[in-house]
Amino acid sequence: MIIAIDGPAASGKGTLAKRIAEHWGLPCLDTGLLYRAVARDVVLLGFRIDDPWAALIAARSLHPAELLDPDLRTPQAGDAASIVARIPQVRTALLVYQRAFATQPGGAVLDGRDIGTVVCPDADAKIYVTARTEVRAKRRFLECQGRGEGVTIEGILADIRRRDERDASRGSAPMRPADDADLLDTSDLDIEAAFDAAVGLIKRKIGQ
Ligand SMILES: Nc1ncnc2c1ncn2[C@@H]1O[C@H](COP(=O)(O)OP(=O)(O)O)[C@@H](O)[C@H]1O
Ligand SMILES: Nc1ccn([C@@H]2O[C@H](COP(=O)(O)OP(=O)(O)O)[C@@H](O)[C@H]2O)c(=O)n1
């Protein structure tokens, strides 16, 4: 069974994807980490973040073990990721790994921006997770604060708005719900309630 979870920044898709994967005993891939790692590697190689050649080299030489770096979780890494994510060749290079992960025996859960539309258009269930921008900013703020990062709510809100705009307006695999995705607004749901709602949507889709 393949489950696709998409949505804008800090909507809670990663949290849901992990819980759903545990529930059904499936492996889980946070595809945003791939773009974050490519952006990090472009900078480490000494190139400008919008250099398409360097980004393609970084994407082609990416190793899954490099996704565990905690620095990839910062808002700066997310912003840089959305810049390399606009480059079509980078997306194509990362597609191979994502498709192989999704089609492993038994299936998988993947979360990102284009899982339901591009990576796994035939997924058994697709959920597009949303939440009001202010709610998302508050959640990300609390998360960063918990890690001891010096962030402000205004800074996080600006980052989320800028990134959503960039992700939704790019020409290649823009962020959008697949036509057959179920929408889940988690603004007024805690993690447990959001998980219950997601499980209900998936069960309905797969006929359980
Ligand atoms: N429904 C929810 N209610 C409150 N906090 C949530 C909810 N879903 C996720 N969070 C918290 O919000 C933050 C961002 O969630 P995350 O799953 O990382 O979002 P995304 O993967 O969409 O960026 C995390 O700290 C997470 O624990
Ligand atoms: N499938 C995906 C996943 C992420 N991305 C890009 O990578 C960036 C970081 O993604 P993420 O999922 O780690 O970000 P958050 O939603 O966790 O803040 C996004 O803003 C997108 O630009 C993408 O283009 N396609």
Please, how many CA atoms are within 13 Å of residue 205, restricted to the half-sphere of its CB? 20
CB of 124 shorter than 6 A to ligand 1 = no
**In this model, does residue 187 exceed pLDDT 90?**
yes
Q: Which atom of ligand 1 is nearest to the CA of 186?
A: 1
pLDDT tens, 122-174? 999 999 999 999 999 999 999 999 999 999 999 999 999 999 999 999 999 99
CB of 78 shorter than 6 A to ligand 1 = no
Q: Which atom of ligand 2 is nearest to the CA of 164?
A: 20
- How far is the centre of ligand 1, averaged over its atoms, from the C-alpha of 54 (Å)? 32
Tokens 């339901």 identify what position? 116
Over residues 40-44, mean pLDDT:
96
Given this model, what pLDDT does residue 205 score? 95
What are the residues whose beta carbons fall under 8 Å from the beta carbon of 59, sequence distance 6 or more? 34, 38, 84, 89, 90, 93, 94
- The count of other CB atoms within 10 Å of the CB of residue 57 is 18
The closest of 185, 172, 57 to 119, measured between CA atoms, is 172
Pocket of ligand 2 (CB under 6 A): 9-10, 14, 31-32, 35-36, 78, 81-82, 85, 112-114, 163, 167
Q: Which atom of ligand 1 is nearest to the CA of 13?
A: 22
Nearest residue CA, atom 10 of ligand 1? 12
DSSP sequence for 139-199 = HHHHHHHHTT----HHHHHHHHHHHHHHHHH-SSS-S---TTPEEEE-TT--HHHHHHHHH
Q: What SS3 class is residue 12? A: coil
Whether this model's ipTM surpasses 0.90 comes out as yes
Binding residues for ATP: 7-15
Nearest residue CA, atom 11 of ligand 2? 32
**In this model, does residue 2 exceed pLDDT 90?**
yes
- Long-range pairs for 153-157 at CB < 8 Å and ≥24 separation? 155/75, 156/75, 157/133
Q: How many residues does the chain have?
A: 208
Dig out the tokens for 151 from the structure: 């962030």
pLDDT tens, 54-98? 999 999 999 888 899 999 999 999 999 999 999 999 999 999 999
Given this model, what pLDDT does residue 64 score? 85
Tell me the domain boundaries of the chain: 2-195
Q: What SS3 class is residue 26? A: coil
Given this model, what pLDDT does residue 38 score? 98
Question: Could you say which of 2.102.10.10, 3.40.50.2300, 3.30.930.10, 3.40.50.300 is the CATH number of the domain covering 2-195?
Answer: 3.40.50.300
**In this model, does residue 101 exceed pLDDT 80?**
yes
pLDDT tens, 158-167? 999 999 999 9
Given this model, what pLDDT does residue 208 score? 77
pLDDT tens, 105-116? 999 999 999 999
